[in-house]
Structure 1
């Protein structure tokens, strides 16, 4: 027999490839977040905080998303990845742009050939994506901050904090070198860089003279018209400057140099602007200005020189599409204009790109869903957008839960489908929703997560000073009581098998316990003072410094990521270790040893996450080291014997390595960690907005699957035979042998349930199963309950299956409303008995019991009739009528066999015979016989007409009779005796 096992965790599908690569290698992969958005609608994806946009000759828009990537939005509204691998850089120059790591991108420009130029502050330079090859390279800047290189190759020059870019018709690139207060130009034909505006000192001067002699104040953007004239968003001076292409003379064309908002309808040079950050020019010379601090977009008419507001109402409210652009709030950071009469605005504060139809003035959204990095629900988790994943948890079924911190929600990756969904939080900051659907509730920044054995989710909501609980059955959310503790800042949460909660209250430098049985809160570690002391003594007397992560081992011992102390500490809570119970010690970090391989050595810096696997190995994520470590061989009494090794990370922050060895991969701001049932270490790679796993790292916990999870029996008649079998299948769903220790039934009605099984105490192989058969025999009228408990070496042991059934019974037939068990009637009439049968018990009032009826004991010449069957329920007795039909009294004659005429006819042939007899003697004898026959015939005739002799009485005899009416269901019968008096 062969067994085919379907993968339980499709979000780990990449793991199969990894294992094929090397049976012993520990391979890293992304399982949620950071995936490609290719092919999605632009309005369905998040754009983060779009600082800049660009447009090419075909109408394609270019913008940046939160995952350090540049996307192209087609005129049809579909997005395509252009550059960036999803992690912060910089790296990858000389290779494919989509494999490169990008830094903070603040400006874009596209030339006539479709080449994209990116102002990447990560490389402190300009990067170019070749339209023909897709290759990325450094186009300007040597990676050093400064101001040098004019007259030489652009790649050797120093740039400052760059912002906007522009390309003229000849392919020359213009750079708003903001911190150097200059506009730089890279000649398309020679690659030589030069300064074309600004003298490098901040200020506002020089109008009417050479642009290179003028002072600029943090120029944020630059645009160029078809004549080669430059327009500069001189942000700090709140003006727009123009550099004439033919003369090189600079002038102010909008703004009076005083920050403010005024002047619409008049000359642009008399108007007030406030911190303009974007400028664009159309084919007729009209200027468009992103008037950032005024929350508006302004236009300077080329013909009149007058200024007006064409988008934004100056408020910070919600965006409104479909109406006049001037009626909606807008955070205009950059602007571009196409050749069809549309103006595009980088609405940074609303995380959208919006379009204004310049002919109608109507506003619409063309890209962005209004979130910084939140999309993908209903689709594969690897294509979802996440905004700083902090906490992770995995339930017994392998479902993954993600604290999507900046999106203020909790997301779930379904183990069966690999799809992501939001299970708590509506994406708005606040505190509301208790008692209602968790999906509609407002949360603060969600940090730590935990899931109990019933599937309830616990959320550390520190902004609200609360632990929120999402009920697994209803999906409703509640706040776990905290006894009104001041400064309560729950950063992490853990839950043990009985359901008690452990809370890292970093605001009070304590770890709290909420007892599952009493609901009482107590302190189990920390004095409330910030520090590092107390090892070897009671944990309540120890000092902590920002307890950030918590974990429990198989024995119930607690591990604390004491982050600012750079250590992992253990609190003994194992009930079998009375000597050390309640004591604390350091088991990793602290630099008490200088051996880098010793658990107490200098390896750790700022541990955030901690997890202990089935074998007792301690895993630690270090936020500052950008690495995950593991500690083996450590114990409470001898922590110095522990060894620490690197599991994942090079120590260099970044993003790389998926599909390869975990120790060669880069991570960025590692937060919480956990393990899954498949033996993978699960890490919140928060800076990369991803959840990543390392295969074959964690000692897998045996996983037991139950199907079904509850057994419900049909309602059973009391004292009848046992029910049919209900089967429970126990399956080893993990990757380690499963051992059962017990299968037992307990509970208030356990005696009425019986189980047999083919499960043994020997190990159940991976993917194999066994069966528990349960039968029920009712002895109680009403609901019956019990619990089938399975003990095993699984992490969720003991697991329980509820047993639900009901017994039903019925009483003997009894008189109904106004009825009686006795009836007196005259013969020839019918007696009727109004009867009913009551049922009791059952699971619900409408449970039905079908009863067969019979009647016996009816007197002579009478018939007793009942319905063939009736249906009784606990809520409604079955009514029926017993009828006894009698016969009227009368008489019946006892008639002879021969009648008078018959006898006479019989004598005729005899006479004829005698008349033919010869002889006198014979005639005399014949006559004598004939006479005798005549006498007999006369007697018969007389008897036939008599009224007093040879008659009998007819009809139902008078008297008192006992009738028996019986009701039967299966092998159970109930009967009643009825009295019938016939007169």
Structure 2
């Protein structure tokens, strides 16, 4: 098989159905509205080999170039299954494009050819573009002019509608053009893969401009939407970046490393489609609006723990003169709770009776502030070295992670001391959670995993969460979904109950998220420690 290049990207499916975000932090703007991508689903393409290029027409129909199967596929808008299109003669199809009349264009890397499948036709015809060597990307504008990245010849060619030969566009010195896109004004965009950049050639000009994406890591595909926002796919922990029209700084979209991806397309409403040839999937990421609002937390220096009770009251631990705070449901201003400034609080939990528990790390104790009490009291924790996190079940039993002792303890309600749970081979355990059935979950930070010990069991199993980097927080919702603060990757991921579907939640610009909590309504709270804020993600 003759292929110009194979690049791997990792994609994690985002399964949220739409959210709003609220950030609670001092010294930040009061409110800003942004457009985000909050719902990603796998499309019903089955038995794919290596889905590569992808295109979408104005009606929402998708076209996929299946590289290894040498097949062109179409998924009609709203359909449950794709249909194969005439593909005889294809060798190694890579890029695909579709024009306003429904004609489909395919860059065939193996045959050094660009093919056209006319709307309703039963066979492909070769376009008159001579001298191609490893063509990779293809695009078509509203006038049916065709643009092709000629990778090994380091050029971009244009075949004008009805022309008998192609011309070379003035992109200057390219090192390896791969992706190509064209906007409504016929400006042409190209990813120069080895050079790590995206170029724009404005219509009618002879010199391209480098777009301000910064130093990209092997950009493979580019797309532009109806509002002239530009999207690029790269090999990076932030694989998809969006450069809004007129902006000078790109924004990473919530698609995270999880498998290999090659193709990128965007439809008229801003929905992204990504081909994942490593997992033989095609995924779609839909846009949705969200609002970010800030609320001041006075003197909160370094937020660590977060907990939320059944009424929606949020409790936060941090550093400073007032190390523990309470924010009532619907309130805009938090109030400090009566904890000493000498307290070194990390994890926090609240039980059904409204009692608050705080792990005091430096003082090696667990503090309880009873509902309505004026001062906290220490609980009996003999044998625990450095408590890092705490969780409470519906019966009032407490679960504590011992960070340096590499153990997990249970303090039964009314007991005089804790008992050790049979977790083994822990390394710097931090977050802990317990579900309604009594199953215990631990963020085993040093081993980059999350463990689950079923109620009554003596052994723990690792959850199907890969690519974690120092997970520090864990929470469970009423449905049994698991949420993890993946500190080293600056993200929060969700593992759906009884499945292996992992979603990266659409938080943006996190910096060392430490803890996570979820309330009965499904609202997720995260301590964004590096940004000194608490972020709230609410379902719409």
- For the superposition of Structure 1 and Structure 2, which TM-score range results when normalised by the shorter chain? 0.3 to 0.5
TM-score normalised by the chain length of structure 1: 0.24
**Structure whose residues are more often strand by fraction:** 2
Q: Whose radius of gyration is greater, 1 or 2?
A: 1
**What TM-score does the superposition give when structure 2 sets the normalisation length?**
0.44
More helix by share: 1
Q: Relative contact order: is structure 1 or structure 2 higher (C-alpha 8 Å, sep ≥ 6)?
A: 2
